[in-house]
């Protein structure tokens, strides 16, 4: 346990931010999973679910929860799966 006041505060901030970031990442995983399931099932709303997931990914990248290159990679993978599902 830290003895320095500023470090104690930093530890509190880290815990709080970690929880918030974990919620965002969990939401991204959920939205991506829902989109993948819809794509695999050939659902009509697959396009809308992919757009929701991409919006969440963009917001996470903008807020620093996820690196911008990782966000771009995730969006690209989603779009690739959507296009493959639409054709096949």
> pLDDT tens digit string along 15-64?
999 999 999 999 999 999 999 999 999 889 999 999 999 999 999 999 99
Tokens coding 79: 């779009």
HSE-up of residue 43 (Cα within 13 Å, Cβ side): 14
Mean pLDDT value across residues 80-84:
93
In this prediction the pTM is: 0.86
Q: Alpha helix locations (H) across 1-88?
A: 5-41, 46-62, 68-87
Spatial neighbors of 38 by CB under 8 A, at least 6 apart, are 45, 46, 49, 50
- Which sequence spans correspond to the domains of the chain? 5-87
Q: What is the CATH number of domain 5-87?
A: 1.20.58.110
Please calculate the CA angle 33-59-57 and round it to the nearest 5 degrees: 25
């Amino acid at each position: 346990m830290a003895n320095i006041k500023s470090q104690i505060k930093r530890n509190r901030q880290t815990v709080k931010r970690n929880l918030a970031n974990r919620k965002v990442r969990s939401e991204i995983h959920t939205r991506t999973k829902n989109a993948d399931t819809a794509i695999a099932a050939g659902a009509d709303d697959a396009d809308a679910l992919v757009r929701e997931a991409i919006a969440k990914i963009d917001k996470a990248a903008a807020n620093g929860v996820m690196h911008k290159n990782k966000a771009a990679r995730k969006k690209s993978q989603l779009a690739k799966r959507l296009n493959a599902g639409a054709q096949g």
